[in-house]
Amino acid sequence: MTALNPSKTVAIIGAGTMGAGIAQVAAAAGHPVLLYDVSDGASHAAIVKIGKGLERLVERGKIAREEAQAITGRITPANDLEALSEATLVVEAIVENLEVKKDLFAKLEDIVAEDAILSTNTSSISVTSIARDLRFPARVAGLHFFNPAPVMKLVEIVSSQMTNPAIAETLFDTATEWGKIAVHARSTPGFIVNRVARPFYAEALRLYEEQVADPATLDALMKGAGGYRMGPFELMDLIGNDVNYAVSLSVFNSYYQDPRFRPSLLQLELVNAGYLGRKSGRGFYDYSEGAEKPATQPEIAPVGTTPLGGFSIGTDTEVEGVQITMSDGRMASEVAQDLGRPVILHDYFAEGATMLGFTVSDGVPDSFVARFVAKLSEDGLAAVRLPDWPGLVVLRTVSMLANEGFEASLQGVANETDIDLAMRYGVNHPQGPVGRAREIGLSRVLSVLDSLLRLTGDPRYRASFALRKIAQHD
């Protein structure tokens, strides 16, 4: 292990939410911590706030009071940058502005020892650009925590073109010692999480724009069938539509307007209207006092309907002349024509699912659909009937997430294992996108993408060569 010894001093620059959170994490690991902020009194106020947060944990029985006091006791406010001279590791957590960060690191080079590690918590700025003009750029790397830092497990260790691999390993091992899930990433726009997560929002927005379903239904399917903790529209409202749109636009522009990252005009209109989400009282949902959140209305079979027998959901089965199978990206009308019989296509659903989307081709009797819905209900699944649409909802979204994961791996941003870990622990996805795609079957995922590309003509759905190459041997 090359983790920093807990006796080594860690300096945090920026006493805002992220800086204070990182200071708490380092102090909890036993390090003396120096906390500096350009605003007078900000560091002291942050330490007080940390103490109040820890006191709430004490009251809930999560930690002992002695431990809470020890943590805050290890954090010392620094009056100026020169006070950070003894730091072995510096973590910058200031405003997301390249020139401001470059100026700060240039000053730090004249203050800290030549073997001190300089790191940045940036979520969007090139680490290479930050380090480029320094005398010792090899000691600079990204140490990207997620908010709130004491709670969120993931830390992205981001290497620039110049970062010494030994520095990256030290940061990786140190973050691990601090109780975090560390992953390596190359300095590219969005790193891992902010890049690979884009389809979670983008496909929901496209489905809404295409009038496949409303936000409440799409959220319900992603949670009830996909196993996600929050639906994409709920999450965008929580993050703030202005923030989420800005990140999407930044990634889009950083990748030279690659169609895979195209932002949503619908979301832009919400931002233009001031409908930013929870913080403004209205976003995709109304958060004003007394407002009721729209509820999804699943299909209900008529009373007395006999559940359809002779099949188990998730298997490819013909029942009474109707094919029941999971979507492979083609429309139900296409599958029915190819098979020469009517079909019911259902969406992907994860283990423990409580909901399932489906669509039907022409020729499926209403009575058969009712019996199918009754069977799903018998199996504990609420049925949501969708238009005949390529990829349906969950399968389309997870296929796009997987595609971005494979593309990031192909481009050397991170390996498949770290991509999956990052998505699980950075945005709380139930599975990593690559692992989930392998569970579904890479050939099916590839078929979904190819069908979407063929039917829409939109290059955002082009399959990663990495996915195509591996799927050929799947």
- Render the burial of 445-471: b for 16+ CB within 10 Å, e for the rest: bbbbbbbbbebeeeebbbbbebbbebb
Q: Which of 43, 121, 123, 464 is catalytic?
A: 123
- CATH T-level fold of 317-385: Transcription Regulator spoIIAA (3.30.750)
> Can you say whether the dihedral through the CA atoms of 254, 134, 80, 172 is positive or negative?
positive
Alpha carbon distance 328, 287 (integer Å): 37
Mind listing the pLDDT tens digit for each residue in 60-90?
Answer: 999 999 999 999 999 999 999 999 999 999 9
Instruction: Starting at the earlier edge strand, list the strands of the sheet with 343-346.
Output: 317-319, 322-326, 343-346, 355-360, 382-385
Q: Which of 194, 250, 399, 403 is catalytic?
A: 194
Q: Residue 123 catalytic?
A: yes
Q: Which pTM was predicted?
A: 0.95
**Could you give the residue range(s) of every CATH 3.40.50.720 domain in the chain?**
10-187
Helix (H, G, I), strand (E, B) or coil at 409: helix
Q: Looking at residues 405-411, what average pLDDT do you find?
A: 98
Alpha helix (H) residue ranges in 97-164: 98-109, 127-131
Q: Please report the pLDDT score of residue 295 as a whole number.
A: 87
- Render the burial of 33-48: b for 16+ CB within 10 Å, e for the rest: bbbbbeeeebbeebbe
HSE of 29, CA atoms in CB hemisphere, 13 A: 24
HSE of 76, CA atoms in CB hemisphere, 13 A: 15
What is the pLDDT confidence band of residue 242, given thresholds at 50, 70 and 90?
very high
Q: What share of the chain is helix, strand, coil (3-state, %, to 5)?
A: 45, 15, 40
CATH 1.10.1040.50 fits 195-280, yes or no: yes
Mind listing the pLDDT tens digit for each residue in 8-33?
Answer: 999 999 999 999 999 999 999 999 99
Indicate the range of 224-238, 401-415, 460-474 predicted with least confidence: 460-474
Question: Is the per-residue pLDDT at 119 higher than 80?
Answer: yes
What CATH homologous superfamily does 10-187 map to? NAD(P)-binding Rossmann-like Domain (3.40.50.720)
The verdict on whether omega for the bond into residue 215 sits within 30 degrees of 0, i.e. cis, is no
Q: Please report the pLDDT score of residue 253 as a whole number.
A: 96
Contacts of 405 (CB under 8 A, 6+ apart): 196, 416, 419, 420, 423, 432, 433, 434, 437
Which whole-number Å values give the CA distances from 360 to 35, 195, 215, 345, 439, in the listed order?
A: 60, 34, 22, 6, 25
In Å, the largest CA–CA distance within the chain is 80
Question: Is the per-residue pLDDT at 41 higher than 70?
Answer: yes
Instruction: Phi first, then psi: give them for residue 329, nearest 5 degrees.
Output: 105, -25
Question: Is the per-residue pLDDT at 346 higher than 80?
Answer: yes
Indicate the range of 152-166, 175-189, 215-229, 295-309 predicted with least confidence: 295-309
Q: Please report the pLDDT score of residue 270 as a whole number.
A: 98
**Could you give the residue range(s) of every CATH 3.30.750.190 domain in the chain?**
317-385
Q: Please report the pLDDT score of residue 293 as a whole number.
A: 87
Q: Residue 99 catalytic?
A: no
Radius of gyration of the chain (CA): 25
**Could you give the residue range(s) of every CATH 1.10.1040.50 domain in the chain?**
195-280
Indicate the range of 43-57, 135-149, 194-208, 283-297 predicted with least confidence: 283-297
Which of 328, 341, 375 is closest to 356 using CA atoms? 375
Neighbouring C-beta atoms of residue 418, cutoff 10 Å: 21
Q: Residue 92 catalytic?
A: no
Q: Which of 144, 184, 346, 429 is catalytic?
A: 144
Q: Please report the pLDDT score of residue 362 as a whole number.
A: 97
Question: Is the per-residue pLDDT at 1 higher than 70?
Answer: no
Contacts of 80 (CB under 8 A, 6+ apart): 36
Q: Which of 92, 119, 156, 404 is catalytic?
A: 156
Q: Residue 429 catalytic?
A: no
